[in-house]
Amino acid sequence: DTEVTQTPKHLVMGMTNKKSLKCEQHMGHRAMYWYKQKAKKPPELMFVYSYEKLSINESVPSRFSPECPNSSLLNLHLHALQPEDSALYLCASSPNTIGTEAFFGQGTRLTVV
Amino acid sequence: AQSVTQPDIHITVSEGASLELRCNYSYGATPYLFWYVQSPGQGLQLLLKYFSGDTLVQGIKGFEAEFKRSQSSFNLRKPSVHWSDAAEYFCAVAPISSGSARQLTFGSGTQLTVLP
């Protein structure tokens, strides 16, 4: 199994809603990431988890709250988002081994209305 | 700070023609180098990677890339493009350090259009 699975694929939420994005991998990877990608732009790193601990937060607003409940799961909790937060949210994972790459999920297309 | 430059925003080639996408990086030391491809609304798929050793690396779908240390470049090539290659291509770098997570820095991307 070499997949990173993200759910849901599409999400529309109001600015007062609370929602969560989910990411799952069963490759035994101990590093997991959230990236945000706006249209026609490259992905931008948001968070990095290493061994279930948050290791990097790229100054992301607190309305985005990551969680890593176990080594296979990564969540991104969303609350009081703004329309400018509409984007493709990509999850990735990688083993902590030299010479390996990150594997990406298909993303969640988020629209904030 | 590290940076990745893809000077070509958009490239158009005819099906069957050869392709070269350019990538230059600025980094303190030679980083890990990657090329990813993204179809519209989809995630990123790894085409190939360079960590060390042979500077000409082979990837999936007939792609190859050549690392040139003196030019800080990692250009992607394909001898004969297929219509299905139309997509966005991202060059990316990651720091080399044991145990580090693969936090990637991406170039701005090159959109490839393939004409029939």
DSSP states of B19-68: EEE--EEE-SS--EEEEEEE-TT--EEEEEEE-SS-SEEE-GGG-EEEEE
Mean pLDDT, residues A63-91:
96
Cβ neighbours of A107 in B, within 8 Å: 41-43
- Please give the pLDDT value at position B36: 96
Smallest Cβ–Cβ distance between B46 and the set A33, A48, A101 belongs to: A101
* Whole-angstrom distance, CA of residue A58 vs CA of residue B35: 23
Q: Of A1 and A62, which is predicted with more confidence?
A: A62
Run of H or E residues at A31: strand A31-37
Residues of B in contact with A104 (CB under 8 A): 36, 43-45
Task: For A15-73, write each residue's pLDDT tens digit.
Answer: 999 999 999 999 999 899 999 999 989 999 999 998 999 988 989 999 999 999 999 99
Q: Tell me what pLDDT residue B29 has.
A: 78
Q: Is the pLDDT of residue B100 over 60?
A: no
A2: which chain B residues are within 8 Å (Cβ-Cβ)? Answer: none
Instruction: Quickly count helices (H) and strands (E) in chain B.
Output: 0, 12
pLDDT tens digits, one per residue of B58-78:
999 999 999 999 999 999 999
Q: Are A68 and A74 in contact (CB under 8 A)?
A: yes
- Site of tokens 């030299």: A98
Q: Which residues in A lie closer than 8 A to residue B107 (C-beta atoms)?
A: 42
Give me the pLDDT at residue B103, please: 75
User: How many CB atoms within 10 Å of residue A31?
Assistant: 23
| Cβ within 8 Å, pair B108-A42 | yes
DSSP B84: G
Query: Which of A41, A45, A104 is nearest residue B43 as measured by Cβ atoms?
Result: A104
Instruction: Please answer yes or no on whether B43 and A102 come within 8 Å at the CB atom.
Output: no
Nearest to B106 among A40, A42, A106 (CB): A42
Angle at A103 between CA A86 and CA B25, to 5 degrees: 85
Q: Where does residue B72 fall: left (phi above 0), alpha (psi -120 to 50 degrees), or beta otherwise?
A: left
Helix (H, G, I), strand (E, B) or coil at A113: coil
Take residue B84 and report the two structure tokens written for it.
Answer: 């299905």
Q: How far is CA B111 from the centre of its chain?
A: 12
A55: its two tokens: 């290791």
Q: Tell me the pLDDT tens digit for each residue of B8-52.
A: 999 999 999 999 999 999 987 778 899 999 998 888 999 999 988
- Residue A33 has a pLDDT of 93
